[in-house]
Amino acid sequence: MTKGSVARGGLVWMVARRLLLRDAQGGSRVWWIALLATIAIGGGLVLLGVRSVAPPLAVAIAALGLLGGACVRALTPAVAVAVFGMSLGVAALVTVLGVTSGFEYELTARLARINGHVLISEYGQDFDEYPEMVARWRADPRVTAASPFAFATAAVVPATEEAEAEDGAVPEDRPEDRPEDRPVRPPAIAFVKGLDPARAFELPGVVAMLHGGDLTVLRPGDWQTPPGVALGRRLATRLGVKVGDFVRLVIPAELEGASGSLQRPPRFARFAVLDLLDTGVSEFDTSLALIHLSAGQALFFGEGRVTGVEFALRDPEDADAFAAEVIAAAGPNFRATTWRQQSEGTIAGLRQIRVAVALVLALLEVVAATALIASLLLLVRRKTAEIAALMALGADGRRVFWIFEAVGLLAGAVGALVGVLLGLLLSGLLAVYRYPLSGDVYPVEHLPVRLMALDVLLPGLAAVLLCGLVSGPVALIAAKQPLLPGLRR
């Protein structure tokens, strides 16, 4: 690249900058300073952990107003509206992509927390060699936890006062002042999972699900004390029970599917509610109960076998390769399910929603880019004399083309930069406020936000690209302006 080409390129950007900015820029500094101060206030609210919706909403409205004022004061009026619209489009897209990424991350992490990264089960429901599998693969450096589990569907029935008296001892933490006239709720169908606390505490997030944070509440039980159960908090509310109460887990014999099972009575056992679960996923909080593995084996199967073994890995991305190795070593009677397969349907639905919403909001950028066409056409009409003067001084049509193309690219860059900053501000405010969601409708109870690098870069790059594309036809019109009529103006 020669010095002459560098000088010509510098001239193009200098003239483009002069066309984009207003003649008097002194007053615009106040607007930009006020905008930066508003963003700083929003950041301060994020750091302080403000949870009220009023301050974040006020900061967002003030930022929009100051952004519009700053654009009008700093930019040529013909271009200011397009830049402001582009900023709003980029900010909206950044915020929505952050929210959808947050949903995907939260759901994937919570599903993996409940079922591990790799789940190994055996065809035929006779998985009794699980101690050897756990001992072998727990020593693998890729594995952080290996926990056997027993799983069954059961009816959870609140135990009556009479049943408690008949069964004998009560938990030590049972409240003595419970109202006797409290209504007994109907039973609920729940997914009951038996875990070995000595193994399950290594699973990421399992201990955090318990309000008390202690897996020893999943006691196996003996002839003096009933076994312990931890109920999902929504399930406990539905049943009308709390910590210290009793429930019965009832498994109908029909669930075995064996011949003659209809004639056998259901299996049941009395459990003490010793803690509540908060998984972060409303579906599990409404239908999940945890018990000790030995209690589950006795109640579900009547023998020492398990439903499967769940593994937690240091790197979840190794799940497919690790699952293949375990199956190759265990034999064809075993099957593996990874965390991706467990959440495949949910993630696919979320990504479809993500693409659809992103396309709709991308129309804001398209509209702003369309407004830039009108703005640049008006700018060409107003600057006809200046274009003719440049041509008279030796600028050819190609250089004039690149000047107006540079104006469009600069407008897109300014809109993208301001929009990204505004989107980061709004995303931060949403993350701090943790906007509540209805657990009956959404799988999580607050609006999650998690910005990835592409969520920030793609809207900005799309804005610059769109502005560059729509500026091309207008730049061609400017390059073909006749010289003499322009000099007469």
170-203 pLDDT, tens digit per residue, is 444 444 444 455 555 678 889 999 999 989 888 8
Is the model's pLDDT at 4 over the cut of 70?
Answer: no
pLDDT: which is higher, 39 or 336: 336
Question: What is the average pLDDT across 93-102?
Answer: 88
pLDDT at 231: 93
Is the model's pLDDT at 305 over the cut of 50?
Answer: yes
What percentage of residues in the chain have a pLDDT greater than 70? 72
Mean model confidence pLDDT for the chain: 78
* pTM (2 d.p.): 0.67
pLDDT: which is higher, 396 or 25: 396
Is the model's pLDDT at 449 over the cut of 60?
Answer: yes
Candidates 434, 432, 414, 433; CA nearest to 422 is 414
Candidates 298, 76, 80, 113; CA nearest to 203 is 113
The tokens 């679960």 sit on which residue? 277
Candidates 347, 345, 335; CA nearest to 119 is 335
pLDDT at 204: 82
Enumerate residues 6+ apart whose C-beta is below 8 A from 102.
447, 448, 449, 450
pLDDT at 439: 60
Least confident of 68-82, 111-125, 131-145: 68-82
Question: What is the average pLDDT across 66-75?
Answer: 72
pLDDT at 421: 84
Confirm if 427 and 419 have CB atoms less than 8 A apart: no
Please, which residues bridge with residue 338 across strands?
Answer: 118
Question: What are the structure tokens assigned to 372, written together?
Answer: 């830039």
pLDDT: which is higher, 301 or 259: 301
What percentage of residues in the chain have a pLDDT greater than 90? 17
453-467 pLDDT, tens digit per residue, is 888 888 989 888 988
Confirm if 90 and 421 have CB atoms less than 8 A apart: no
pLDDT at 418: 84
pLDDT at 163: 47
pLDDT at 150: 92
Distance CA 215, CA 165 (A): 27
Amino acid at residue number 325: E
Domain positions in the chain: 3-110+346-488, 124-332
Q: What phi and psi values does residue 261 have, to the nearest 5 degrees?
A: -70, -25
CA distances from 82 to 58, 117, 371, 408, 460 (A): 24, 48, 5, 10, 15
pLDDT at 176: 47
pLDDT at 478: 74
Q: How confident is the model at residue 316 (pLDDT cuts 50, 70, 90)?
A: confident
